[in-house]
Amino acid sequence: MLFQNNFYTVKSEDLSESTANFNIELNGDHKIFEGHFPDNPITPGVVQMEIVKELMSKVTNSSLNLVTMGNCKFLAILNPRETKEVLVAINYSLTEENRYKVSAQIRTKDVIYLKISAFYQPA
């Protein structure tokens, strides 16, 4: 996994047959913030999308590829120095085509940073 245990650390997880909730801690000192942006770090949208994919790969215990994305909204700026811990809430189901239909959010109690609906398939 590209970012797990480097950019973020899983602090806790709660898995069921169709949901997965991960409390993660972001590394506000990660080198990615040297360019995005040194004095005001902002978690890039593509990194947030990758976090969802990595955690979904953890749920399925397989490497996944993004097939299609129906919706992706970045609703707030995620600054890891201001908001160190977030919840990644994932709802998923397996389709007849062996794809995972995923609806996910990265959020805190008060703020939603990312909403995504997508299909992933085993790599």
Q: What is the pLDDT of residues 56-103, one digit of tens each?
A: 999 999 999 999 999 999 999 999 999 999 999 999 999 999 999 999
Report, as an integer, the average pLDDT of 97-115: 98
What is the structure's pLDDT at 35?
A: 86
What is the structure's pLDDT at 77?
A: 97
**Is residue 1 in some structural domain?**
no
What is the structure's pLDDT at 1?
A: 74
- How many folded domains does the chain comprise? 1
Residue predicted with more confidence, 4 or 105: 105
Q: Which domain holds residue 98?
A: 8-122
Q: Measured between alpha carbons, how far is 9 from 28 in angstroms, rounded to an integer?
A: 12
Contact of 56 with 122, CB cutoff 8 Å: no
Whether the pLDDT of residue 122 is over 90: the answer is yes
**Is residue 2 in some structural domain?**
no
**Is residue 73 in some structural domain?**
yes
CATH number at residue 20: 3.10.129.10
**Is residue 26 in some structural domain?**
yes
Task: Report in angstroms the alpha-carbon separations of 23 from 39, 98, 100, 123.
Answer: 26, 27, 21, 26
Q: Measured between alpha carbons, how far is 12 from 19 in angstroms, rounded to an integer?
A: 14
Q: Measured between alpha carbons, how far is 30 from 24 in angstroms, rounded to an integer?
A: 15
What is the structure's pLDDT at 22?
A: 98
Q: CA 85: distance to chain centroid?
A: 12
**Is residue 3 in some structural domain?**
no
**Is residue 82 in some structural domain?**
yes
**Is residue 99 in some structural domain?**
yes
Q: What is the pLDDT of residues 8-36, one digit of tens each?
A: 999 999 999 999 999 999 999 999 998 87
**Is residue 41 in some structural domain?**
yes
Contact of 78 with 106, CB cutoff 8 Å: yes
